[in-house]
Amino acid sequence: MSRIVLAPMEGLADDILRDCLTRIGGIDLCVTEFIRVTTQLLPPKVFKRLCPELANGCKTPAGVPVRIQLLGSDPKALAANAVRALELGSPGVDLNFGCPAKTVNRSQGGAILLQEPQRVAHIVATVRQAIGDDAWLSAKMRLGFATKDLALDNAKGIADAGANELTVHARTKVEGYRPPAHWQWINKIRQHVSIPVIANGEVWTPADYEACKQASGSDDVMIGRGLVWKPDLALQIAHQQADQPHQAWNWTALVPTVLYFIDLVEATVEVKYQDARIKQWLKLLGRVYPQAHLCFEQGKRMQNLVSLRQLVQDSA
């Protein structure tokens, strides 16, 4: 059975959005925003802050499993923190070799490591040794940093070092998020590794999902921005897979989810950040739904949640 995985998006796909999106349906697994690891074993509160679902069996309120992701370059520190993540209840650990952020890359994290396949493999092997053979270990990578020349070396190194699964974002760091995503490269990688490969990148519609699966040969697909902009995309895909017609949600259908999102933000986010968090999603939703764009434009100077909530309510 094919799975849809919600991508880890720093500063965006937090527990609040994970809750909202998984309630809609169609998502089979979530991966957290990365937990940055330097040289220290992090206290449990850091894991619980980025993954509050640990208090709920590491599942969203809708029952979708959440896997903790770690980012860093110190093998021993990553290994120690992987052990801690598992002890706290994460159903597995994901290692980030894909983040394109300059600040992350400057500190030797994320996609910059793809310039050194042996280093990537050593990190994976060290974490595997620490967590044991039975624990679930996955990794996420891009096709490379500036070029794709080392894509196969990195993927094979990750697989041979003991990862159970690999997600490939089908662009290099330098390519960023510019289309196209090179799904055919994922198929090349699949021919060189013996572990399952999840395809990621540029899936915005059910048709994109089908094209991605066909070009990559992957059973499973990870979706990020496509689900943030079109929250029922995974549900559309699930219905399509089951041969059940599904009408894409219009703004009126989505408004209850947005209002629930606002309620969660009010209940859990520090007051000074609440309005920005709501406006962030409204702005992104506005790329698909004109009413969301109007809400953002009319509400971007509002700092009162009551007014923002009323604005969304009245737009339905």
Instruction: Give me the chain's average pLDDT, please.
Output: 96
What pLDDT, on a 0 to 100 scale, did the predictor assign at position 15?
Answer: 98
Q: For position 104, what pLDDT does the model report?
A: 76
Whether the CB-CB separation of 194 and 159 falls below 8 Å is answered with: yes
Helix 233-241 crosses helix 15-24 at what angle (to 10 degrees)?
30
Domain co-membership, 223 together with 297: no
Q: Angle 212-104-172 (CA atoms, 0-180°, nearest 5)?
A: 30
Same domain, 140 and 206: yes
Does 91 lie in the same domain as 18?
Answer: yes
Question: How would residue 109 be classed by pLDDT, with cut points 50, 70 and 90?
Answer: confident
pLDDT of residue 302: 87
What confidence tens digit (pLDDT) does each residue in 113-123 have? 999 999 999 99
| CA-wise closest residue to 226 among 290, 275, 174, 179 | 179
Structure tokens at 262: 């606002």
Residue 255 located in a structural domain: yes
User: Residue 126's domain is classified under what CATH number?
Assistant: 3.20.20.70
| Integer angstrom CA distances of residue 95 from 27, 129, 137, 259 | 21, 14, 8, 33
* Tokens linked to 42: 């992090």
Return the pLDDT at 95. Answer: 98
99 is catalytic: yes
The count of residues in the chain is 316
Contact 140, 69 (CB under 8 A): yes
Confidence band (pLDDT; 50, 70, 90) for 192?
A: very high
Q: Let me know if residue 21 belongs to a domain.
A: yes
Give yes or no: residues 310 and 223 share one domain.
no
**148 has a pLDDT exceeding 90:** yes
pTM flag (> 0.85): yes
Q: Are residues 206 and 255 in the same domain?
A: no
Looking at the fold, whether 55 and 142 belong to one and the same domain comes out as yes
Confidence at 202, pLDDT banded by 50, 70, 90: very high
pLDDT of residue 106: 75
Residue 245 has pLDDT above 80, yes or no: no
Residue where a domain terminates, one of 217, 241, 265: 241
Could you tell me if 75 and 126 are in contact, meaning their C-beta atoms sit under 8 angstroms apart?
yes
pLDDT in tens, 260-294: 999 999 999 999 999 999 999 999 999 999 999 99
Q: Which of 192, 208, 241 is the last residue of a domain?
A: 241
Q: Is 181 exposed, middle or buried (0-12, 13-18, 19+ CB in 10 A)?
A: buried
Residue 206 included in any domain: yes
H-run or E-run covering 94: strand 93-97
Q: SS3 for 38? A: coil
Number of folded domains that form the chain: 2
Mean pLDDT of 216-244: 95
Place of tokens 């394109």: 100
Residue with the larger pLDDT of the pair 301 and 195 = 195
Report how far residue 61's alpha carbon sits from residue 91's, in angstroms, rounded to the nearest whole number. Answer: 16
Residue 246: inside a domain, yes or no?
no
> 58-85 pLDDT, tens per residue?
999 999 999 999 999 999 999 999 999 9
Predicted pLDDT of residue 271: 94
Of residues 251 and 316, more confidence is placed in 251
Domain that holds residue 271: 251-315
> In DSSP terms, which residues pair with 292 in a beta bridge?
none
Task: Specify if 39 maps to a domain.
Answer: yes
Residue 107: CB atoms within 10 A of its CB come to 15
CA atoms within 13 A on the CB side of 166: 34
Q: What is the structure's pLDDT at 155?
A: 98
Can you say whether residue 168 is alpha, beta or left, with left for phi > 0 and alpha for psi between -120 and 50 degrees?
A: beta
For residues 292 and 290, give the distance between their C-alpha atoms in angstroms, rounded to a whole number.
5
Percent of the chain residues past pLDDT 70, beyond the cut: 100
Domain co-membership, 93 together with 183: yes
Q: Report which of residues 302 and 50 the model is more confident about.
A: 50
pLDDT at position 102: 77
Please tell me the predicted confidence (pLDDT) of residue 100: 85
User: Beta partners for 34?
Assistant: 69
CA gap 154, 35 in Å, rounded: 22
